[in-house]
C-alpha cells in the first residue's frame, strides 16, 4: 500500500498519472491523436506519461533533472493550471489583474514541482502500475469527472481517485479527489491562510522574491 500512496502523492503534482499502462502498452498514443472525450483523453495522457517514465528509467536516466524535463514536456501541457489557480484563490481571483493571476499560477506550478518531482524521480516500478478508467464518467457542460482504480501488480491493495477535467479548446485535468479530499481545496485553504496573514500584495511580493 505504501507504493500506491506514493503514486497518489505523485498524482497531487500531475493531476494525471492515471490510465491503463504497462510495458506492453508502449509506445503510447499521443493525446492529440486520441478521441475528444474525457476517458480516452485521460488514458492517452497517462499512457504517454507512464511509457515515457518507463523508457527514462530503462535507460538509467531517471535523474532529478531528467524527471523535471520530462514533467514539463509530458505533464504540464495537459493541466489547466489557470483554472486550478482560479478555484484555489476563490473570491480573491476576481480582484487580481492579469499579471497578478499569472504570478499565482506560476506559484502553483512551482510549488507543486518542488514538492513532487523528487517523488517521481525516486519511483522505479512504473511498469508495475495497473490502472483502469471507468468509462461511465459524469459531465456537466464543459466539466467532467472520471473515476479510476489504481493498483500495483501482484498486490491486492488498490485506491480509487476521481479526476476533474475542464474542456476549453481541449480536455485538461485541473483537480484530483481522493477519499473526498480535493487537491484544489487543499491549495485554497493554504492561500486563504497566507492572504489573511500577509495580504494579497504582501504575498505577491514574497512570491516574486522567490522567483
Alpha-carbon distance 139 to 194, whole Å?
A: 33
Predicted local distance difference test score (pLDDT) of residue 14: 43
Predicted local distance difference test score (pLDDT) of residue 4: 40
In this structure, the number of other CB atoms found within 10 A of the CB of residue 204 comes to 18
Predicted local distance difference test score (pLDDT) of residue 208: 92
Q: What is the largest CA-CA distance in the chain?
A: 52
User: Global pTM?
Assistant: 0.78
| CATH at residue 199 | 3.10.450.710
The series of mean pLDDT values per 10 residues for the chain, 211 residues long, is 44 40 55 85 79 73 72 78 95 96 91 70 68 86 89 71 91 86 87 95 92 67
Joined together, the cell numbers standing for residue 5 give 500512496
Handedness of CA 108, 109, 110, 113 (dihedral sign): positive
Q: How many domains does the chain have?
A: 1
Determine the structural domain holding residue 83 and report its residue range: 2-210
Alpha-carbon distance 100 to 90, whole Å?
A: 14
Predicted local distance difference test score (pLDDT) of residue 22: 39
Amino acid at each position: 500500500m505504501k507504493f500506491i500512496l506514493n503514486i497518489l502523492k505523485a498524482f497531487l503534482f500531475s493531476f494525471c498519472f492515471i490510465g491503463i499502462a504497462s510495458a506492453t502498452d508502449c509506445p503510447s498514443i499521443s493525446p492529440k491523436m486520441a478521441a475528444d472525450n474525457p476517458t480516452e483523453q485521460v488514458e492517452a495522457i497517462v499512457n504517454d506519461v507512464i511509457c515515457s517514465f518507463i523508457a527514462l528509467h530503462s535507460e538509467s536516466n531517471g535523474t532529478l533533472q531528467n524527471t523535471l524535463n520530462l514533467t514539463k514536456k509530458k505533464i504540464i501541457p495537459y493541466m489547466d493550471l489557470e483554472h486550478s489557480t482560479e478555484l484555489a484563490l476563490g473570491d480573491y481571483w476576481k480582484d487580481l489583474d492579469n499579471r497578478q493571476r499569472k504570478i499565482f499560477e506560476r506559484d502553483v506550478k512551482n510549488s507543486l514541482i518542488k514538492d513532487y518531482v523528487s517523488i517521481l524521480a525516486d519511483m522505479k516500478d512504473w511498469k508495475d502500475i495497473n490502472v483502469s478508467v471507468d468509462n461511465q464518467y459524469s459531465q456537466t457542460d464543459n466539466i467532467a469527472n472520471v473515476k479510476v482504480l489504481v493498483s500495483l501488480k501482484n498486490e491486492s491493495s488498490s485506491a480509487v481517485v476521481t479526476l476533474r477535467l475542464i474542456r476549453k479548446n481541449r480536455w485538461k485535468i485541473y483537480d484530483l479527489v481522493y477519499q473526498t479530499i480535493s487537491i484544489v481545496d487543499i491549495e485554497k485553504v493554504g492561500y486563504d491562510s497566507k492572504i489573511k496573514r500577509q495580504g494579497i500584495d504582501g504575498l505577491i511580493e514574497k512570491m516574486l522574491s522567490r522567483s
